[in-house]
Amino acid sequence: MTTAASTTTDAYLFGDQPDLGDLEHRRLTALTQLFDPATRRLLRHIGVTRGWRCLEVAAGTGSVAAWLADRVGPEGEVYATDVDLSHLGQLPPSVAYAEHDIVTDSLPAATFDVVHTRLLLEHLSGRETALARMAAAVRPGGYVLVEEAEMSPQAIELIAKYAPLAGRDLGVTTLRAMTALLAAAGADMGYASTLPEAVRRAGLEFVGGEVHSPIVGGGETLDFGRLTLMVLRRHAVAAGLMSDAEVDAFLRMTLDPGTQYVPFLMTSVWARRPA
pLDDT tens-digit readout, 94-124 = 999 999 999 999 999 999 999 999 999 999 9
Q: Is 229 exposed, middle or buried (0-12, 13-18, 19+ CB in 10 A)?
A: buried
Half-sphere exposure of 233 (CA within 13 A, CB side): 18
pLDDT digit string (tens) for 142-172?
999 999 999 999 999 999 999 999 889 999 9
pLDDT value for 16: 55
CA angle 173, 117, 149 (to 5 degrees): 20
pLDDT value for 6: 31
pLDDT value for 4: 31
- Burial code (b: 16+ CB inside 10 Å, e: under 16) for 235-266 equals bbbeeebbeeebbeebbebbeeeebbbbbbbb
pLDDT value for 90: 86
Closest by Cα among 101, 108, 1 to 58 = 101
pLDDT value for 3: 32
d(CA 85, CA 105): 16
Closest by Cα among 17, 23, 77, 85 to 51 = 77
User: Biggest alpha carbon distance in the chain?
Assistant: 56
Describe the crossing of helices 244-254 and 168-184 by its angle, rounded to 10 degrees. Answer: 120
pLDDT value for 13: 67
Ranges of the chain with pLDDT below 50: 1-9
